[in-house]
Amino acid sequence: METIRLTAAQAMVRWLAAQMTEEGERFVEGIWAIFGHGNVAGLGAALHEARDTFPTWRGQNEQTMAHAAIAFAKGHARRRAMAVTSSIGPGATNMVTAAALAHVNRLPLLLIPGDVFAGRRPDPVLQQIEDFGDGTVSANDCFRPVVRYFDRITRPEQLLSALPRALAVMTDPADCGPVCLSFCQDVQAEGFDWPCDFFAPRVWRIRRPEPDMAELAEVAALIRAAQAPVIVAGGGVIYSGAEAALAEFAARHAIPVIETQAGKSALAQAHPMNLGAAGVDGSAAANAAAAAADLVLGIGTRFQDFTTGSWSLFANPARRLVSVNVQAQDALKHGAVPLVADARVALERLSAQMGGYRGTVDAAARAAWLAAVDAHCAAPDPDGPLPSDAQVIGAVQRATGPEAIAMGAAGTMPGALKLLWQASQGGYHMEYGFSCMGYEIAGAIGLKLAHPEREVICFTGDGSYMMANSELATAVMRRVPFTVVLTDNRGYGCINRLQQACGGAAFNNLYTECAVEAQPEIDYVAHAASLGAHAVRAVTIADLEAEVTAARGRDIPTVIVIETRATEGPGFGAAGHWWDVAVPEVSHRPEIAAAYDRYLAQAARVRRAN
Ligand SMILES: Cc1ncc(C[n+]2csc(CCOP(=O)(O)OP(=O)(O)O)c2C)c(N)n1
Ligand SMILES: [Mg+2]
């Protein structure tokens, strides 16, 4: 057998560079890296040698580099991914949150933290945590619960099986998620005689599992028997590339579609079957259809509590639940009748068994809903109070076209955008599985790298901006342009409102209710400009529209700061849908006691699905 002598790190890089998509691109596009003693000498040297075939980029923080990598994978509908490497210790544990984010959202991510010496000679090496009860534990064991595959590379030849297993997980439609190859520092640098054919290029095809015939027949019969079915479209529709199949299925069979955060923009808002967002932050049209539905057909959805209104939605006593999902654990949740299959294949096979079946769509409710959105998001009187977040969304919508992608993760904006953003197909990217503050700006980089042809609009609150903004400097250096709309309401607006809705006192969310000696006067424009971004303040909604338009064509990010009202959420259309946020049973505050009574009454009305 022909062999080649390489270090384990060299072998890893060479192998990764040879793993291809069906379209002939590298599945792992490249690697984000911050070096330290745990990866600089071993993996760092290998990456330097391979810099022309497997690119390395430096970011500012391991967590946010991983956010960029995750957004790249989400932007590519899981058909491509990126890797991230860190040193040992704090660099590695900085990535744990990002691993959890990718895990919840079922997105591929390859994490390669350095690890302590397998040979243990220098123990305790700098940044080694030392477990007195277990010699096999290192800080990197933190990754175990938040990745789909964890491996510690303690001998070079382990890579012969660990690397293919890593790619198998990242390209598996059902088990897709983050992988951690914890790479012991000494092993990275160790030589081994590798079989040359290990490095032969390999194409990773993403499978489309066919449905079981019995499951298919059962589900088709349930739909044919339904009077008022509704489809809940989740992220799985997008990951399957089932957008056109869904549009065709919904139109042919007249079944309304309601959207989850991950599924929004699978169907353009303009599609006549699209009733908008479902659930806690859902549209009146979608929630009315959901409440009346006698059959709920989930497609590629986890039925997260925002989607189901913590099961206060879908209240028709005759309601049946069907779940089409490539992952059996998801398909079986909540007592659903499962159809385990790829979403696109399932829709095609189902349609073939449904003949001329047609459900019912309330076109008038849809039209009324869209008219209400336009009115709600219209430009306000410039001399009136500070704009609302809804008016900000309206301004961005008017200033952009179908090529724009609205993106974000946490705060007021995800709910507001889910409700109000009228997405083109593919025009929406929300990290709402983990809803991680600090995803936004780094995520915008990854999304723009995945879609250089589209305009990326990153919505962030002042709170999320403060949590993680430093990758703006990376975007400036790499000339990755996008537009950040920073809504400054002087604190954590959405949590402040939630706190009071639960009977709590306004406390520790807006700066005005925090224990501070002086109210902050944070100059976000100066801050973003100092990182190299083009930064401006918009005072009015008209200013905002003009600045969004002016940003187009710049080769660096633009940050537009606009002050908004903290007291107002998206504020309409949610039709009173509930969210189960546990309220204290014991309190001296009458407001909490009243909220607790409301909580019990609402909880008693919820019809659990299981
Ligand atoms: C990492 C992280 N920490 C805490 C939270 C809980 N949380 C959700 S939104 C939010 C406040 C967001 O404030 P901001 O970005 O200013 O948005 P606003 O609601 O004020 O518009 C907090 C603390 C979270 N989602 N993520
Ligand atoms: Mg805020």
pLDDT in tens, 334-343: 999 999 999 9
Cβ neighbours for 94, distance < 8 A, ≥ 6 positions apart:
61, 62, 63, 86
Pocket test for ligand 1, best of 464, 514, 564 (most atoms within 8 A of CB): 464
State the distance from the centre of ligand 1 to the C-alpha of 409, rounded, in angstroms: 9
Domain termination site, one of 365, 394, 423: 365
Say what the pLDDT of residue 578 is.
82
Distance of CA 195 to the CA centre of its chain: 39
262 and 405 in a single domain? The answer is: no
- Domain CATH code at residue 333: 3.40.50.1220
How far CA 602 is from CA of 283, 288, 296, 576, 597, in Å, comes to: 20, 18, 22, 11, 9
Ligand nearest to the CA of 497: 1
Q: What is the Å distance from ligand 1's center to 464 Cα?
A: 6
Tell me the C-alpha distance between 195 and 66, whole Å: 31
Token pair of 607 as six digits: 């019809």
Q: Among 101-105, 373-377, 559-563, which stretch is predicted with the lowest mean pLDDT?
A: 373-377
**pLDDT over 60 at 278, yes or no:** yes
> 1: buried, middle or exposed (CB in 10 Å: 19+, 13-18, 0-12)?
exposed
Q: Whose CA is nearest to atom 9 of ligand 1?
A: 411
Residue 487 alpha carbon, nearest atom of ligand 1: 21
- Mean pLDDT confidence for 369-397: 94
Determine the pLDDT at residue 208.
98
Q: How far is the CA of 313 from the centre of ligand 2 (A)?
A: 29
CATH of residue 384 = 3.40.50.970
Q: What pLDDT is attached to residue 571? A: 67
pLDDT band at 605 (very low <50, low <70, confident <90, very high): confident
Q: Are residues 549 and 459 in the same domain?
A: yes
568 found inside a domain: no
408 CA distance to ligand 1 middle (Å): 11
In this predicted structure, the answer to whether residue 576 has a pLDDT above a threshold of 60 is: no
**574 pLDDT above the threshold of 60:** no
Residue 20 pLDDT: 98
Distance 444 CA to ligand 1 centre (A): 17
Task: Kindly give the number of the ligand 1 atom that is closest to the alpha carbon of 497.
Answer: 19
What number of helices (H) and strands (E) belong to the chain? 24, 22
Tell me how far the alpha carbon of residue 492 lies from the centroid of ligand 1, in angstroms.
6
Q: Which of 203, 224, 244 is the last residue of a domain?
A: 203
Q: Which of 61, 391, 407, 437 to mutate to test the pocket of ligand 1 (most atoms within 8 A of CB)?
A: 437
Smallest CA-to-CA distance from 445 within 465, 471, 414 is with 471
Buried b / exposed e along 547-561 (16+ C-beta atoms within 10 A): bbeebeeeebbbbbb
Tokens of 53: 């075939």
In a shared domain, residues 189 and 219: no
- The predicted structure's pLDDT at residue 280: 86
- Report the separation in Å between the CA atom of 60 and the middle of ligand 1, taken as the mean of its atom positions: 21
Mean pLDDT, rounded, of the chain: 96
Neighbouring-strand partners of residue 57: 32
The residue nearest atom 12 of ligand 1, judged by CA position, is 411
Q: Report if residue 486 sits inside a domain.
A: yes
Closest Cα to atom 4, ligand 1: which residue? Answer: 437
The residue whose C-alpha atom lies closest to atom 2 belonging to ligand 1 is 437
Instruction: Out of 49-58, 193-202, 597-606, pick the least confident.
Output: 597-606
Q: For residue range 578-592, what is the model confidence (pLDDT) as tens digits?
A: 889 999 999 999 999
Examine the domain organization and report whether 411 and 283 are in the same domain: no
Three-state DSSP at 401 gives coil
pLDDT at residue 315 in the model: 84
Confidence of residue 313 (pLDDT cuts 50, 70, 90): confident
Atom of ligand 1 nearest to the CA of 461: 15
Express as a percent the part of the chain with pLDDT over 90: 92
Per the domain annotation, does 595 fall within a domain? no
Q: Which bound ligand lies closest to the C-alpha atom of 437?
A: 1
| Position 609 confidence tier, pLDDT thresholds 50, 70, 90 | low
Same domain, 167 and 271: no
3 state SS for 334-370: HHCEEEECCHHHHHHHHHHCCCCCCCCCCHHHHHHHH
> Residue 507 C-alpha to ligand 1 middle, in angstroms?
14
The string of pLDDT tens digits covering residues 138-186 is: 999 999 999 999 999 999 999 999 999 999 999 999 999 999 999 999 9
Query: Using one digit for the tens of pLDDT, what is the confidence trace for 108-117?
Result: 999 999 999 9
Place of tokens 């909604």: 541
Q: Which residues contact 132 (CB under 8 A, 6 or more apart)?
A: none
Radius of gyration, alpha carbons of the chain: 25
Identify which ligand lies nearest to the alpha carbon of 493. Answer: 1
- 469 pLDDT more than 60: yes
Residue nearest to atom 11 of ligand 1 (CA): 492
Residue list, ligand 1 pocket, CB within 6 Å: 410-412, 435-438, 461-464, 487, 489, 492-495
Which residue owns the Cα nearest ligand 1 atom 13? 492
For the CA of 488, the closest atom of ligand 1 is 16
Q: Is residue 390 part of a domain?
A: yes
Ligand 1 atom, smallest distance to 389 CA? 21
Is 447 part of a structural domain of the chain? yes
pLDDT at 314: 87
Could you identify the atom of ligand 1 that is nearest to the CA of residue 412?
19
Q: Ligand 2 centroid to 525 CA: how many Å?
A: 15
Compute the distance from residue 439 Cα to the ligand 2 centre, in Å. 15
Q: What's the DSSP call for residue 510?
A: B
Rounded distance, CA 508 to CA 517, Å?
14
CA dihedral 570, 410, 107, 610 (to 10 degrees): -60
- Give the total number of structural domains in the chain: 3
Same domain, 327 and 407: no
Of the ligands numbered here, which is closest to the C-alpha atom of 104?
1
Tens of pLDDT along 83-97?
999 999 999 999 999
| pLDDT over threshold 70, residue 370 | yes
- Domain, as residue range, for 469: 378-563
Q: Are residues 19 and 147 in the same domain?
A: yes
Q: What is the pTM of this model?
A: 0.98
Mean pLDDT of 183-194: 98
Per-chain residues with Cβ under 5 A from ion ligand 2: 461-463, 489, 493
Instruction: Looking at the structure, tell me whether residues 86 and 131 fall in a common domain.
Output: yes
pLDDT of residue 419: 94
Element (H, E) at 69: helix 62-75
CA of 487 to the centre of ligand 2 (A): 7
Query: What is the band of 46 on the pLDDT scale with cuts at 50, 70, 90?
Result: very high
> What is the pLDDT confidence band of residue 572, given thresholds at 50, 70 and 90?
low
Residues 345, 431, single domain; the answer is no
Would 221 be classed as within a structural domain?
yes
Q: pLDDT over 70 for what percent of the chain?
A: 98
Measured distance CA(263)–CA(181) in Å, rounded: 30
